[in-house]
Amino acid sequence: MKAEIIMIGTELLLGQIVDTNASYLARQLATLGIDVFRKTTVGDNEQRIVNAIRKALNRCDVVITSGGIGPTVDDKTREAVAKATDQSLVLNTELLEFVSNFFKRRGLELGENNKRQAYIPENAIPIENPVGTAPGFIVEKNGSCVMSLPGVPRELYYLTEHTVLPYIKKKFGIQTIIKIRTLRTAGIGESNIDRMIDAGRYAPTGYNKQPVRFAAEALAGKPTSWRWDFGDGASATGQTASHTFAQPGERVPITIPSDLGMFPPCS
């Protein structure tokens, strides 16, 4: 499955705030095995948001927008999603009641601009927001879906975990995940690591497996011995006869014979 994240807000393009929502969403989608192919950042311009959503829906299964569903005049996401999915905005009375009660519980007055937050595309699935005033919504179109969430991180995190991820799993029947392994190194440059990885791509003839461990053993006065382990019980071993250690712990070049079918001899 493919996904695209669209971050909305001129403040992002001006560098006034740091976008942490996209990295959070990408990590959460990875737990469902969904590849995030693109991340787009758009300012508060309705037509540009429309264009970004239309393009994303044509190439992805899941489109998630963040930001632009607040009460102010520069919040253009609702109108843009409606236009991009060929729908009109309608007042959702349940969302209006939800927003109204949010203000009443806090002894605040519901302004006319706050009522804008209860308007969503006519066929949208509403998402109530118990930790804020901006409800989200989901619009399905031609087998894909666009999900619009608030830009406030705390609200986005809550709606993602309690509504977005469960909805995606149910709608698409997802049963996969993306596993990530992090290898931490110290005292070695990335160019050296790259050469080591490149050499490890070539296993001895007949194994066609990537070595998972290389070990070298050295004793004073004896040839250097080495061993490739391939993780399935297979291994390759040998010695370099060209050098013996004068003392334990001495560092010397180790040559891997080319007849093992590995990367050409390296040190």
Q: What percent of the chain has a predicted confidence (pLDDT) above 90?
A: 59
For the stretch 208-236, pLDDT in tens is: 444 444 444 444 445 445 454 444 444 54
Confidence (pLDDT) at 200 = 59
The whole-angstrom distance between residue 114's C-alpha and the CA centroid of its chain comes to 32
pLDDT in tens, 148-193: 999 999 999 999 999 999 999 999 888 777 777 777 888 888 888 8
Between CA 233 and CA 230 the distance in angstroms is: 7
**pLDDT of 4-45, one tens digit each?**
999 999 999 999 999 999 999 999 999 998 999 999 999 999
Domains of the chain, first to last: 2-172 (3.40.980.10), 190-260 (no CATH)
Handedness of CA 222, 224, 229, 235 (dihedral sign): negative
> Nearest CA to 78 among 35, 120, 17?
120
Q: How far apart are CA 119 and CA 260, in angstroms?
A: 68
Tell me how far apart the alpha carbons of residues 232 and 209 are, in angstroms, rounded to a whole number.
Answer: 9
3-state secondary structure 41-70: EECCCHHHHHHHHHHHHHHCCEEEEECCCC
**Which residue has better confidence, 186 or 136?**
136
For residue 257, pLDDT beyond 50: no
